[in-house]
Amino acid sequence: MEVFRALPPAFFDQPPPMVARALLGARLVRRVGDAVLAGRIVETEAYLSAGDAAAHGARPMTQRTRVLFGPAGRAYVYRLRQYALLDVTTEGPGVPGAVLLRAVEPVLGAEHMLALGGGADVRRVASGPGKLCRAFAVDLTLNGADLTDADGPLFLAAGPPEAFEVRVTPRVGITRAQAAPLRFVVAGSASISRP
DNA sequence: CACCAGATCCTCT
DNA sequence: GAGGATCTGGTGG
């Protein structure tokens, strides 16, 4: 079985586009009860810390967005309609940049993910930011969780060395700053939210 | 206190 | 490709 070594805090102390790109191929790991769920990250989006009208951090801090303004490497979990969405915070306190985790390919615990809902196709069980949170049982209680802690309930780990092609496209589902090329995708993956 | 927008998903046609 | 589900924080009266 793959060994999961948490990414260090320094990994997240760089601008969101760099973190978003570097997270492709990394592992999202979730411990829930006795089960361990893991996925290979295949789609991310960067939300800039300044000058990005689509970013939650573009507006003054509120109770909901306070994690965004805290330290890097934390889970920013919020709700959209009936779904939770998961971001990783980047850069230091006071700098609200983040990376949205949009899709992963199941690596471990696929059965468990399917049991949480999302259809019958393993490849598509976490092929979208809302579906990803459902498959990994990520909810608001994980808001603020330290994603650099390999002993915690949710963390990010380095993936094995591999070569893949990265595609950069505009972000999905937003109403402002739609043109900015800040979505990063592992080309050819069957688990991304859309081509 | 009322209204509403929203980084989604699923089910139709 | 369109529309509805469904809900919470943020904003303004």
Report the run of H or E that residue A40 belongs to, with start and end.
Answer: strand A35-47
Confidence of residue A63 (pLDDT cuts 50, 70, 90): very high
State residue A120's pLDDT score. Answer: 85
pLDDT per residue as tens digits for the range A66-83:
999 999 999 999 999 999
Q: Is A87 exposed, middle or buried (0-12, 13-18, 19+ CB in 10 A)?
A: buried
pLDDT per residue as tens digits for the range A81-130:
999 999 999 998 999 999 999 999 999 999 999 999 888 899 999 999 99
Confidence of residue A142 (pLDDT cuts 50, 70, 90): very high
Task: Extract the runs of DSSP E, i.e. beta strands, from A48-125.
Answer: 75-80, 83-89, 98-108
Question: Strand B: which nucleotides have any atom within 7 A of a protein Cβ?
Answer: 5-10
CATH annotation of A9-186: 3.10.300.10
Give the residue ranges with Cβ < 7 A from strand B: A 45, 47, 54-57, 76, 79-83, 85, 87, 98, 100, 117-119, 128-132, 171-176, 193
Give the residue ranges with Cβ < 7 A from strand C: A 59-60, 62-65, 79, 81-82
**Nucleotide nearest to A56 in CA–C1' terms:** B7
State residue A165's pLDDT score. Answer: 97
Contact A142, A153 (CB under 8 A): yes
Minimum-distance residue to B6 (CA–C1'): A80
State residue A113's pLDDT score. Answer: 96
Percent of chain A at pLDDT above 90? 94
Radius of gyration of chain A (CA): 15
CA at A149, C1' at B3: how many angstroms apart?
A: 41
